[in-house]
Amino acid sequence: MHSASFSRSYFSCRLIAGFGLILLGTLSLGPKALGFNDTGFEATAAFSALKVKAESPQSQPSQADRPIELVRIFDGDSAIVRYEGETLHVRIVGIDAPEKGQPHANESRDQFVALLRTPTARIEILKRDVFRRWLVRVEVNGEDLGEKMLRQGNAWFFRRYQSDLSPDMRRRYDRAEREAQAKKLGLWQENDPVAPWDFRARKRKPKDSAGS
């Protein structure tokens, strides 16, 4: 009996030792040896790392991380700016501000500059125009910059190019301009304000006549 018990104990120890060796060998193998796809294994790990980083509060940019840097201001609707590492010649879509030399041109320009300098100002690029400028929409503190300019009487609604706007923006821009006009704000204080597109056309006429 004593000999049989010893044999069973010895066999059990050998069996446990064998399983231990198999387990250690398995752990030492890479994912390919285990039958897993090597690329898929690494991609899953990378995705997990990115997900953790994205969900970390420290990795999220603050509102003031990427402000608009003004390089040159032309008038109340166009400028050269640096934004997200790019230098852009931008023009606000849907509005036309007074040209230099027109009444309220300085007020319009000042409001434009103040809005662009707001730390929360964000640019949405729409497309390029015929002058190679980027037509953009700018949001400031959750409000549309173009609409604010119109509401203060510092720009006209550029209806000639309203197709660049969504139907909702067209309605809001039209309403903002009419409200400023009714309250005689900004440029609407003038008895007969000249729209900037007419002002530009008048300045071009002498050159055209001289050339004809």
Spell out the domain ranges in the chain.
Answer: 10-59, 69-195
- The answer to whether 149 and 97 are in contact (CB under 8 A) is yes
Confidence of residue 33 (pLDDT cuts 50, 70, 90): very low
Q: Give the residue-averaged pLDDT of 158-185.
A: 97
69-195 CATH fold: OB fold (Dihydrolipoamide Acetyltransferase, E2P) (2.40.50)
**46: pLDDT strictly greater than 50:** no
The helix (run of H) or strand (run of E) holding residue 48 is helix 38-55
Confidence of residue 24 (pLDDT cuts 50, 70, 90): very low
pTM over 0.85: no
Please provide the DSSP assignment of 70-107 as one string: EEEE-SSSEEEEEETTEEEEEEETTEEPPPTTSTTHHH
